[in-house]
Every structure is written in structure tokens, then in C-alpha cells.
Amino acid sequence: MVPGLLLFLGGTAFPAMLPGAKPKDFPANPAKHVIHIQRDAADDAQKKMIALAESTAPDADALIKAADGQALAKDEVQWWHGETLGIRIPYAVTGASVEYYKKLVEGYQKQAFKRYIEPSSRLDYHASVVFQKEFEHQGKAYKDVHVVTLKLSFSQQFAASTTEGMDFEKQRTVILDAKGRVLAISGDGPTEVPVMAI
């Protein structure tokens, strides 16, 4: 039984709690916090292409602009452009971003909560690579390239905060030549993150 109403305004939901509703204690429940990571590679060469795509940093100038002019992190390659509910929001899907959300969900798996509704979270990540003799992307033609697709989705409901939840999806396509040089990237950019509240 949901103890409140959901009010959505401009992509954000605002709380309308029922009178007398009180949070309950929920013990750690790993079953409610799911991690699914899959990297499809037929051989070591394809594994290398996925690793290269995952390690490629987004354009620094574009990222700074998306982050409202804030300087980039000095101790790591930055892949996020801001935070919502204390959670980094991806500008680009990278190996570091996957590891970040994995650790976040692993933390929720071990955590006891005091909430109105039992919290849940989920990370789904799928990386794949296909060799293309000829490939057209955004109006440009390529030959003999490896096309790597990185798809990430993340959600958390009442884990980061007592009454709020969020979810988003992000996809990145990286085109590499036979030597592993990056020829083009698409999908990088700010991510819209609707917030729900009870």
C-alpha cells in the first residue's frame, strides 16, 4: 500500500503524504537491488575494442559546458555532468560509470533502511561490438570498423533518500578502426533524470 500520492510537475514528482504515515524498518535485502552486467565479445580482439570504448573520455570542453562551467575532477577521468539526489548523472557511458553504479547498488544490497516503502535499485549494462565492412553513421561513411555499443540503465527507488526515486537510460556508440583508434563517438551529452517522490 503506497502511503501517499505522486504529483508530477515538469518531470519531477512532489510528495503528497497521507496523514499519519510513518516510515518502517527494512533489513538489508540484496534481492531488491539487482546488478546485471554483460559484455558480448567473441574473442580477445573484441574484448579489447569494448575496453577501448569504455576507457575513452568524453570531450572535455563539451563536458565542462554541460556541467555549467565547473572544472573537471582532477583525480579521475570525469564521465558525469552533475548530481541528482547525491548520485552522479552520466554525460557518457564509460567503464568508470558502470563501476560507479555497480558499487552504489552493492552498497544498497548491504544497507538497512527506514522508509515508507521498501527501497529497490537496479543496474543493467550491456556492451557489444560488431565488425562492419561498411558502416554509415550520422551521414558519414566508414570502412572496416568496429562498432561498439554501450547501453546503461539505472534506477533507485527510495534508496538514496526517504521519499524519492529516479531512473534513466544512456547509450553510447563508439566507432574504432582496426588499430583501435577512435573515429567517432555518439550518445555523449547531458542526461535527463525524472525524479519521483511520494
pLDDT tens across 101-140, in order? Answer: 999 999 999 999 999 999 999 999 999 999 999 999 989 9
CA distance linking residue 153 with residue 138, whole number of Å: 24
Residue 191: pLDDT band (50, 70, 90) is very high
Is residue 11 scored above 70 in pLDDT?
no
What Å distances lie between residue 97 and 2, 101, 171, CA to CA?
A: 32, 6, 12
pTM reported for the whole predicted model: 0.89
Residue 74: pLDDT band (50, 70, 90) is confident
The three cell numbers locating residue 3: 502511503
Report percent pLDDT > 90 for the chain. Answer: 83
Res 7: pLDDT: 42
CA atoms within 13 A on the CB side of 161: 13
**Taking residues 62-85, what's their average pLDDT?**
92
CB of 118 closer than 8 Å to CB of 135: no
CA distance linking residue 93 with residue 128, whole number of Å: 13
Report percent pLDDT > 70 for the chain. Answer: 90
The three cell numbers locating residue 172: 553510447
Res 18: pLDDT: 64
Q: What is the pLDDT of residues 170-180, one digit of tens each?
A: 999 999 999 99
Is residue 62 scored above 80 in pLDDT?
yes
CA distance linking residue 31 with residue 109, whole number of Å: 8
Look at residues 7, 11, 163 and name the one whose alpha carbon lies nearest to residue 85.
163
Q: What is the pLDDT of residues 15-31, one digit of tens each?
A: 455 667 789 999 999 99
CA distance linking residue 11 with residue 166, whole number of Å: 11
Res 32: pLDDT: 98
Count of all residues that appear for the chain in the document: 198
18 versus 53: the higher-pLDDT residue is 53
Is residue 44 scored above 90 in pLDDT?
yes
Res 75: pLDDT: 87
